[in-house]
Structure 1
Amino acid sequence: MSDPSSPDSAAGQESSTGQWLTTLEGTRWWFDSGSLALDFVYTGPLGATDAARREALGSPADLTDWMADKLPSAAAGDRDLADALTLRGAIGRLALAASAGSAGDSRDVDLLNLYAATPDIPPRLAGGALQAGRTEPRAAQALSTIARDAVALLSGTTSGTIRECDADDCDIIYLDTSRGRNRRWCSMQRCGNRHKVRAHRARAARSVSTR
């Protein structure tokens, strides 16, 4: 379900992806990766050199809270959190490789396939008289659903292109599903707006210098 306070929702556009991110300095901004799997990747730093984001999954309760909005499931435990961080790392590294045109590490592929092979959250149509399966999916099933989304993303089954933000000081990746495949920024609220400000200042400086 989309966040009613997100920029897309404010514009009257419903989206099943996207989340608020917070930098280490406390700046909060909306980022829609275009993919459930990439949303999951950006619940924390991506790689050893990425220190721009706070870790959102510091405890099993944090994982449960994040799942509640995306894939409601039973409370996560310590094992679920460990699996979540392992899966997140594999997806993140493979997505970064894909954005650079590389196949990625086969060990990460094996990890992703392992999680995707476990039971996921099955689709369910409301209105029936009988209860089929568990009344509440397990957290492990939610992780499998994320893994399967990542397989679709990285195999090209999902429509769109994995690309990196155009800002010189930003390496965030996202799934570009725009009609012309011309999305440039991780977020118009963040890098897109900063680009506009810089362009305005450059035009103003040129105007002053020509007087």
Structure 2
Amino acid sequence: MLHDPKGGSFRFDAGALCLDFAHTGGEGQYAIFETLHQPADLGEWLAQPPLAAIMTVPVSADELTEAKTLRRAIWDAAHARAAHDPLPSGAVATINRTAAATPLTPELAADATTAGWAPPVRATQALSTLAREMIELLSGPFSGRIRECASDNCPLVFVDTSRPGARRWCAMERCGNRHKVRALRARQATSVREPSPIEP
């Protein structure tokens, strides 16, 4: 769920957890969307499903800085791929460096029906897991389906995992519906301006 600073919220599925992470805030004009203000905010985000990585070691300020650096790298790489541009070398280096750390280790529960993450669970491990997912996304079969929302003023990026590969909008309830409303108004305005063929 993403929240608009102007009010309201909408459901947004980026199609990959690493891309969801890229939309947790930003710098400059995107600072108003920031959700990771304190180290604890990062821990809370990582603890949410589907990752559900509950930290056994508190998130540090350095890890928060590292997370924001990775987030920017994922954002830049995704937008470059969506635009069919070369990936920024700095973004690639950051993603690779973060992925080099030990990732989260899955662990089967005693009942053998559920799984979690083997302790200790640290933010650095979770970030490595996100970076590795981004590497798989950029180098895998869905690499060509990383797209930016088709709206003129929406920078959200997603990976289209649908079978037809026809997704255009960040969310149909947001930009998709706005596009439909604008198109309808444009058609109505055109029909009003055009003279009737039976008029002299």
Counterparts of 2:152 and 2:18, CA distance in 1: 24
1:99 matched residue in structure 2: 82
| Letter in structure 1 aligned against 2:94 | L
**Counterpart selection for 2:41 from 52, 62, 65:** 62
Counterparts of residues 101-120 of structure 1 (less than 5 Å): 101-120=84-103
Counterparts of residues 13-28 of structure 1 (less than 5 Å): 20-28=1-9
How many residues are treated as equivalent by the alignment? 188
Counterparts of 2:144 and 2:107, CA distance in 1: 27
Shift of 1:125: 2.2
Counterparts of 1:71 and 1:103, CA distance in 2: 33
1:124 matched residue in structure 2: 107
The percentage of counterpart residues that share the same residue type is: 45
**Counterpart selection for 2:138 from 121, 142, 154:** 154
1:6 matched residue in structure 2: none
The answer as to 2:22 corresponding to 1:38 is no
| Letter in structure 1 aligned against 2:33 | R
Counterparts of 2:111 and 2:170, CA distance in 1: 41
**Counterpart selection for 2:129 from 145, 157, 164:** 145
SS in 2 for 1:163: strand
Counterparts of 1:158 and 1:59, CA distance in 2: 33
| Letter in structure 2 aligned against 1:33 | A
Shift of 1:126: 2.4
| Letter in structure 2 aligned against 1:71 | A
Counterparts of 1:203 and 1:99, CA distance in 2: 30
Q: If the length of structure 2 is used for normalisation, what is the TM-score? A: 0.84
SS in 2 for 1:31: coil
2:174 matched residue in structure 1: 190
Which protein is bigger by CA-based radius of gyration?
2
Does the 8 Å contact 1:22/1:53 carry over to 2? Answer: no
Counterparts of 2:43 and 2:102, CA distance in 1: 18
| Letter in structure 2 aligned against 1:65 | E
- What is the CA deviation profile of residues 115-165 of structure 1, one whole-angstrom value per residue up to 9, with x for unaligned ones? 101111122222369xx9943411111111101011111122557610111
- What is the CA deviation profile of residues 51-100 of structure 1, one whole-angstrom value per residue up to 9, with x for unaligned ones? 38510111111111111113323132212111101111111111111111
